[in-house]
Every structure is written in C-alpha cells, then in structure tokens.
Amino acid sequence: MEVVIVPDAKAGGEIIAEAMAALLRRKPDALLGVATGSTPLPVYEALAGKVRAGAVDASRARICQLDEYVGLPADHPESYRSTVLRQVVEPLGLTADSFMGPDGTAADVQAACEAYDRALSEAGGVDLQLLGIGTDGHIGFNEPCSSLASRTRIKTLTEQTRVDNARFFDGDIDQVPHHVITQGIGTILEARHLVLLATGEGKADAVAQSVEGPVAAVVPASALQLHPHATVVVDEAAASKLKLADYFRHTYTNKPTWQGL
C-alpha cells in the first residue's frame, strides 16, 4: 500500500480532494464513497472549494455512504444520511438524487443491508472510497474481529467507539446508538481505490498496526494490505509510530512519475 505522510490535516484534505477531482475529470459520474466523523472534513472542504473555483465539475458525481446508525430517524441531524447531505452533497451543489446509503430505519435490517450491497453493484461499484480509522482500528463500523470477507450488515459498536462518538451527541453516551449498518470489509475491498485518512496522535497506534502489522481481523484496517490500490494519508502525528516513516517519505517524494495518489 502507498503511505503518504503530510504535515497536517489540511494538507491531507487537499491531496485527497485533488485525487477526487482528478477522478471526476477522468470520469465525471464517478461514484465516490464517503466516510463521516471529524477526519474527512478537510477533504470535503477542499473539494467543495475546487468546485466553487471552477477547478472541477462535480455536477455528475455520485456519492455513497459507508455506514449508518440503526434506529435514528433519517432526518436526525446526526444520522449519517443527514451528515453526508450537509457536509458533502450540498456543498458540492448536488441533490439527494445523487446520493445513496443504507436504510437505518428499515423494519427488516438484513434485507436493507443486502439491498444496499446490490445497489452498489448495480451502480457499477465504488470508484474511490474514502475511509477514516477508529482508535481501535475499525474501518466503516467494522469493529475488531469483523470478518475480512464481510458484506454489508448490522454491527454492534464497541464501548470505545460509542465513547469516541458521544461528542456528536452533546457528550451524552446514552444517546449514541448501539447498532449500525456498515459496508462489510469485503464490500469495502471491492472499491477500485481505497484512500484512508488518519490525523492526530490518537490514531498513531491503529495506523502502525494497520500498515506494518499482520493482516488480522482484530485490526480491521489491516485488510487494506489486501487491496491492489490502497493509499493511506497520515499527518505527522498519526505517522509517529510507523517504523518505516522515513522510507515512506522517500518513496513518495521519489516516485518515478507523478501519478497523483
């Protein structure tokens, strides 16, 4: 996998937004998979800035969601549907028609999960999937020991993830749902390009285990090692426990040809 060490979160946002813009120039109706949480915000701000500046036309882009809380009304401000509409779809000048996600309010959750996997395939598959990483190494909401072949399904959040996410619910852990629908690791691995962004010291252990540790279900992000085109963008703090940091800096700055990410 390719590891890109950037000075800070803003630089990470810029480099990934440029990769998305380059994809949209090549394929205007590309399907972009987005993540929620704090980490990807600089990416969305940078991409929306490029659209406003006329540097890229995103009017035919399609956006899809990685995961969703189970049981939150779709219009709850912290549902991932609302979050992605507010942070990605609207700033890009798109409408909800360009957007797809799993139905966290479905009476038959399993059927909703299967329907979402089908919908992703019928849409031609995800061109670029942006990922964050949990402090426990999760991607999407595939918590430790998720099957590396898993499909979209319901998962139970760990206590650590609920603590981490309480900040989005007025700091009240009791408001954080226990269950989520998440694309499975097998589903995520079907995207053509995986781009994981991690910033801050709190992610340093998870990044080191994912990049330099063995592929293991106990560290779900280590599954990126199985993907032929996976890019991990980390700021200096998140890179601080990588033993091969100097090698990654060297290989990135000495690429034989510029290929974007």
Q: Tell me the C-alpha distance between 77 and 60, whole Å.
A: 26
How many residues of this chain interact with ligand F6R, rule: CB under 6 A? 13
Does 140 bind ligand F6R (CB under 6 A)? Our answer is yes
Task: State the nearest-atom distance from the C-beta of 232 to ligand F6R, in Å.
Answer: 13
Give residue 31's region: left, alpha or beta (phi > 0; psi -120 to 50).
Answer: beta
CB-facing half-sphere around the CA of 257: CA atoms within 13 A: 1
Comparison of 19 and 34: residue with beta carbon closer to ligand F6R = 34
Q: Which of 101, 102, 104, 134 binds ligand F6R (CB under 6 A)?
A: 134
Token pair 């980490």 in the structure block, residue: 39
130-152 burial by CB neighbour count: b if 16+ within 10 A, else e?
Answer: bbbbbbbbbbbbbbeebebebeb
Residue from 14, 18, 67, 117 carrying the catalytic annotation: 67
Token pair 């609920």 in the structure block, residue: 162
Comparison of 21 and 196: residue with beta carbon closer to ligand F6R = 196
Task: State the nearest-atom distance from the C-beta of 85 to ligand F6R, in Å.
Answer: 14
Q: Which of 38, 59, 95, 156 binds ligand F6R (CB under 6 A)?
A: 38
Tokens standing for 147? Answer: 């099957």
Does 36 bind ligand F6R (CB under 6 A)? Our answer is yes
Q: Tell me the C-alpha distance between 247 and 253, whole Å.
A: 10
Residue from 143, 164, 193, 235 carrying the catalytic annotation: 143
Does 67 bind ligand F6R (CB under 6 A)? Our answer is yes
Q: Which residue minimizes CB distance to ligand F6R?
A: 132
Comparison of 17 and 56: residue with beta carbon closer to ligand F6R = 17
Comparison of 133 and 261: residue with beta carbon closer to ligand F6R = 133
164: annotated active-site residue: no
Comparison of 139 and 261: residue with beta carbon closer to ligand F6R = 139
Q: Which residues, 6 or more positions from 19, have their beta carbon under 8 angstroms from its beta carbon?
A: 128, 193, 195, 231, 260, 261
Question: Amino acid identity of 21?
Answer: A
201: annotated active-site residue: no
143: annotated active-site residue: yes
Phi then psi dihedrals of residue 50, to 5 deg: -65, -35
User: Which residues contact ligand F6R (rule: CB under 6 A)?
Assistant: 35-39, 66-67, 132-134, 138-140
> Which are the catalytic amino acids?
67, 136, 138, 143
